[in-house]
Amino acid sequence: MTGNIRGWRRWGLTALISGFSVALLAVWLVPGNTAGAENRTLLPWPVLSAASAGDAATYRGIEAALRDRLGAQAAVSEALGDLTVHGIGRSPTASVIFGSDHQPFYTEDLFRPCRETTDSLGVVKAVLEQDQAAMAAAGKYVLFMVAPDKTSVRRTGIDGLSPTLLRCSDFVREHFENWEAEGGLPLITLHAAVAARDTKADPAYLWNDTHWSASGSLALSNALMQRLVADHQAPPAIMDDLTHPVFSDPAPYVGDLNHMMGVEDTDYKTSASFDRPNVITTSASSIGAGGSPLLHFTSESSSSPLVPGKTLLIGDSFLMHEIPTQLSNFFADVTMTGLNESGQAGEYDRVIVERVERYSSSGDWPSLASALK
């Protein structure tokens, strides 16, 4: 009898282990896009060779690639995100903070500027002045633009948590606004212009995203074209076609802050453009030496004014998400691309550089002076 009980226990334990192993293996069959849920590309498999077979990094790469293909992760992450965000009303990640109005914000807006001092910002100003001088010496036009963070404009929700959370951001922004007021730098800070557009009926920022809406980005389009006219880089009549933006139908999307929190709430966004029936625009795209997409537009018109010559617009996602749609048909020849393509600045008549507020301080601006050497 004792032997029979021990035998059943062995069989039972074996069955339990076998069932658990089968269930564990079955987890790999659960469909899901972990990388897509985190708004990134899938991790690649490491290249196997005789040399790499003895390298521990190869097996760590295999482990990471296998884990990235575990579809259940996306489902679990989404379930936890939904529970935390919708059930408890809290953010499941340190990258996102809920304001007092329960609007999500990107926490990097708050802590990244805290590394700056008066001295470090003095260095930033000196670098921009050096770039200005180098461009002028080469007979080229340059303009710097700063797009405000959502936290900076919609500060009520942040101030409702603590009035000190924006002190670092305010410190940096005030320096840039002072430089703009001094008039020595070719600089536009867009804080006031974007804040003026941020209304309940037509918000300047997307609720579940850190980026501005099409309406908010129109502040950059208008400020840029006004400055080009004031600096005699564009004919005044070009402003006539900037008065009536055409908005696309709302398209569904999942905001980047939702991606960070692991929730799939669907929002809707539009794009803005300007109808210029007398302008013929052709487009082409390629990859630059820095690895970023180059969006190249050429326009011709017998009656509508254009910004002459060759123009380079470089910036971050605040530039690239909306401005190609809005301004591609206002330039005779314009290339819009990422900041790591600044090395080709010498090939253009004018260069406009955009930086979002949180990335406008130490080490965040490309060196145009070095690109001209």
Query: Is residue 271 pLDDT above 90, yes or no?
Result: yes
Q: Give this prediction's pTM.
A: 0.79
In which band, very low, low, confident or very high, does the pLDDT at 266 lie, cut at 50, 70 and 90? Answer: confident
* CA 38 vs CA 149, 213, 353: distances in Å: 22, 21, 29
Q: For residue 23, what pLDDT is reported?
A: 62
Q: Measure the N-to-C terminal CA separation of the chain; round to a whole number of Å.
A: 91
Residue 289 has pLDDT above 70, yes or no: yes
DSSP secondary structure of 287-304: E-TTS-EEEEEEEE-SSS
Question: Per-residue pLDDT tens for 116-140?
Answer: 999 999 999 999 999 999 999 999 9
Cross-strand bridge partners of residue 338: 315
Report the greatest alpha carbon distance in the chain.
Answer: 103
Residue 151 — pLDDT band, cuts 50, 70, 90? very high
Which amino acid appears at position 286 of this protein? S
Q: What rounded mean pLDDT belongs to the chain?
A: 88
**19 contact partners, CB below 8 Å, separation of at least 6:** none
Is residue 315 helix, strand or coil? strand
- The neighbouring-strand residues paired with 269 are 251
Taking only the tens place, the pLDDT of each residue in 152-195 is 999 999 999 999 999 999 999 999 999 999 999 999 999 999 99
Q: What confidence tens digit (pLDDT) does each residue in 27-86 have?
A: 556 666 667 666 667 788 888 888 787 788 888 888 888 777 776 666 666 666 555 666
Over 90: is that where the pLDDT of 22 sits? no
What whole-number percentage of the chain has pLDDT above 90? 68
| Per-residue confidence (pLDDT) for residue 26, from 0 to 100 | 59
pLDDT of 1 strictly over 60: no
Q: What angle (nearest 5°) sits at the alpha carbon of residue 236, between those of residues 235 and 237? A: 90
* pLDDT number for residue 29: 61
pLDDT of the residue at 15: 77
Give the closest residue to 114 by CA, choosing from 43, 195, 170, 46.
Answer: 170
In the predicted model, is pLDDT for residue 3 greater than 60?
no
Separation between Cα atoms, residue 203 and residue 196, nearest integer Å: 10
What's the pLDDT band for 20 if we cut at 50, 70, 90? low
pLDDT at 9: 66
